[in-house]
């Protein structure tokens, strides 16, 4: 029982660390790259 609980807590820690790295990396990205991805073109492009 304690082994399964320990394994579950360990996996939650691994997933939390991964999500934390993804969050920090997304904070460093400039806003215009998000517009490029969302629209499929340059931010000022009328297409």
23: pLDDT strictly greater than 70: yes
The pLDDT of residue 14 is above 60:
yes
**What band does 27 get if pLDDT is binned at 50, 70 and 90?**
confident
Rama region for 45: left / alpha / beta (φ>0; ψ in -120 to 50; rest): beta
Give the global pTM. Answer: 0.55
H helix intervals, 1-47: 2-27, 31-39
Q: Which residues contact 32 (CB under 8 A, 6 or more apart)?
A: 43
pLDDT at 15 over 80: yes
Res 28: pLDDT: 76
């Amino acid at each position: 029982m304690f082994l399964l609980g320990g394994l579950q807590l360990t996996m939650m820690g691994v997933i939390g660390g991964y999500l934390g790295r993804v969050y920090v990396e997304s904070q460093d990205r400039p806003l215009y790259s998000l517009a490029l991805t969302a629209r499929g073109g340059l931010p000022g492009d009328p297409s």
